[in-house]
Amino acid sequence: MLSRLLFLTTLLFGALLFEGCVTHSPMSEAVIFHSKEKEPFQENSKERGFSGSYSPTKNTVLRLAELEYPRDPLYDTRPANRNGLSAGIYLTKYDSEGRYAISGTTGIAVTGVDATVKIWGRNYFTAGVSVPGHLQLYLQQRTVNNSMLGMTLGLGYQRSIFTFHAGNSFIDEVSLNSYGLRSYLFIKEDENTVGPFRSVGIYIGYAPSIELPVVQISFQGGHF
């Protein structure tokens, strides 16, 4: 127990100290497929596993750096973690009736918490906050749900925080708002109620202030 606590504490401090932390994957979204009326409903109230993300944001951060440091000929060297890479572990807690879930993630370049609640029917709302101030809001509808596969489609908003080296060991943080589409794909390895799974989440948005797209792809694996 002590060794696990020490491991998690080390990951947390590593995430806080790592420059360029990114938006975490909101694993509470999996509750969208916890429907007693349709498979795959999971009887387990907890879920654990790993997650990682990649955001092809190189052009986005370079554009922000150019705007933030217009007189610096070396502006392209300032962005930190320009490709939005992260890796971590998560723990999710589900309501027994599948009405809501909360989740926490920590790891390399990522620390965050999120929650998903059922609004009505097949519609769900997800909110997540990540270090150092990322925000994500999604309104999604469950479009597919069977014994092996689940999928959502909906609208999304992200406030992304990009980190830049400002010199003399100081850093600058610049926020960027984007609006777009969110989809989440949930794949089970077998038809048993309890077992391993894999999932992929994708957000495709548009940032009006810089007139460029913002894309985030996340990969998760876990066990119910």
Note the Cα 166 to chain centre separation in Å. Answer: 27
The pairing of strands 149-167 and 170-188 is antiparallel
pLDDT score at 7: 42
Q: Which pLDDT does position 167 carry in this prediction?
A: 65
Q: What kind and span of H or E run contains 17?
A: helix 2-17
Closest to 134 in 3D by CA, of 221, 55, 219: 55
Q: What is the pLDDT, as a whole number, of residue 124? A: 96
pLDDT at position 157: 97
What is the value of pTM for the model shown? 0.82
pLDDT by 10s per residue, the chain, length 224: 544 454 445 444 444 444 457 788 888 998 888 765 555 455 557 778 888 888 877 778 778 877 877 776 665 566 666 667 788 888 888 887 778 999 998 888 788 999 999 999 899 999 999 888 889 999 999 998 887 788 999 999 999 888 777 666 556 778 889 999 999 998 876 655 555 668 889 999 999 998 988 888 888 877 65
Residues 6+ apart with CB under 8 A from 60: 162, 176, 207, 210, 212, 213, 214
How far apart, in whole angstroms, are the C-alpha atoms of residue 194 and residue 42? 6
- Joined tokens for residue 164: 């830049």
